[in-house]
Amino acid sequence: MGERRLCPKYTWKSQSHWNVSAVQKKLARDGVEECHKQGKKRPGDTGEADLAKFWKRSREDRAIRVEVGVQTMALSEYKPMLAVNQGNKWIEDLYWSWNSDPVRKIVPLLRVGSQILHDLLSLPYLIPHAADTCKGGIKLLGPPNRGITCPTTSLIIEDMTVAEGFNAVDFITRLPEEDVGLGDFMTSMYFTLSSKPWSPGRRVYGLLDVPATARGIGACGITAHPFDTDPSCVTEGGWTTVWTPPGGITHPHMDFYGPIQHMVHFHGQKLWLLWPPTTKNLEWYSRHHKQVAAESLTSQAIQDLEGLHVQYFNGSSEHAFTVAPNYIHAVMSVSDAAHCATRVWRLADFTEAQRFIEWALQWCANSSNSGVTRQETLMVLDTISQDMSWWMSLTQGKKGAAFRDVKTRLDGLVAEEKSIRRRIRGAISQETRGK
């Protein structure tokens, strides 16, 4: 899920073809062979000194490959490395799937995704599954609570036919587009699923947030169980659907500011990478928030952030799950994949939510240093304000010290948000008068 807003149009720039020299190929082959040697060792066979040398060499190799342009080459030309830690061997199967049709034909996404999986396989430690720990960011709830109608991609198309508008993203440029037509999206999905070779200039669309309607996903009667009957929670009510193409990569990002996200995965294969919102991770993420993601951002996060967990959804079986508030996450679609989502504001989460709202307000106050425009910052403040309104609605008509405490703290946050908004609008007015 992303923010529910239309995004500005952009100017399309066609991309150049991928040219690979013999020198570039040799550099990449040497790097893969070294990883193979490391991967053949059992956990514990590599000493700390050797492991430090391996990581130093690995970083140097990546820097060299980027400098000479080897990043334009698909890693699938060579045998993939083996997992350094045998507990991560299941990722080898994902690597093979990623390097098969249809993703294999989408060269830019093939290249970026192969590098991400390569980086995961290079990790010397066992990557924990999010649902197996209390701090993984994802909690599995079992089959969704719904009616007799199963959610399908056909129902998403029904929603698209009645939607007044929906947002899409081109996974090649990593830029959102507004007012993408149903025909444009379905043509893009057809070319992708039928393994047509990708050519520069062709979009690879995914849907961000299609509202559920009675003709489509809304007919399934999915509920946010068990939160919908909990008096300490307030739920958004409506659902939106995300449908991504094979090869789609959503780089590290953070959704909203404080609520739980209740989701139902119902189609395709998708790998989630999650990092907790620790002080260190938030400091790193502050530099990338609301920026167009670089191709290497997920690989950077794997190296730089702490507390990595993963969760893999395989096939078309339905899984209800929650994503904890403000977990930084990246998502890779091995096939075309779909899930629907709604938001939940829970009293027990407010203390943590307050920390994220304060972080977001501080980011807005300093956003001019990150290259984000003032208008874009106002849009972020709109999202923060919306979240605070939902928190405020949770306290309405409720008695008890806990609810009164939340309202008091919210009043202070609302006042701070308004103050920042006034300063930004004042700066915009001053610029306008100066022109």
**One-letter amino acid for residue 175 of the chain:** L
Q: Is the dihedral of CA 424, 368, 252, 323 positive or negative?
A: negative
Q: Kindly state whether residues 404 and 306 are assigned to the same domain.
A: no
Q: Which of 346, 370, 402 is the last residue of a domain?
A: 346
CA–CA distances in Å: residue 34 to residues 25, 39, 52, 68: 14, 9, 14, 19
Q: For position 80, what pLDDT does the model report?
A: 53
Residue 113 DSSP SS3? helix
CB atoms within 10 A of CB 145: 15
Tokens for 161?
């036919």
Q: 290, 320, 346 — which closes off a domain? A: 346
Residues of the chain with pLDDT under 50: 1-78
Whether 333 is in a domain gets the answer: yes
* Residue 255 belongs to domain spanning: 138-346
Q: What is the pLDDT of residue 78?
A: 44
- Contact present, 108 and 201 (Cβ < 8 Å): no
- Read off the CATH number of the domain in which 215 is found: 2.60.120.650
Is 338 a domain residue?
Answer: yes
The pLDDT value given to residue 367: 84
For 121-141, what is each residue's pLDDT tens digit? Answer: 999 999 999 989 888 999 999
pLDDT in tens, 242-260: 999 999 999 999 988 889 9
Which pTM value belongs to this model?
Answer: 0.80
Same-domain check for residues 317 and 168 = yes
282 plus 153 within the same structural domain:
yes
Do residues 213 and 156 both lie within one domain? Answer: yes
- φ, ψ of residue 264 to 5 degrees: the values are -130, 110
Question: What is the model's pLDDT at position 29?
Answer: 37
Question: Do 297 and 423 belong together in one domain?
Answer: no
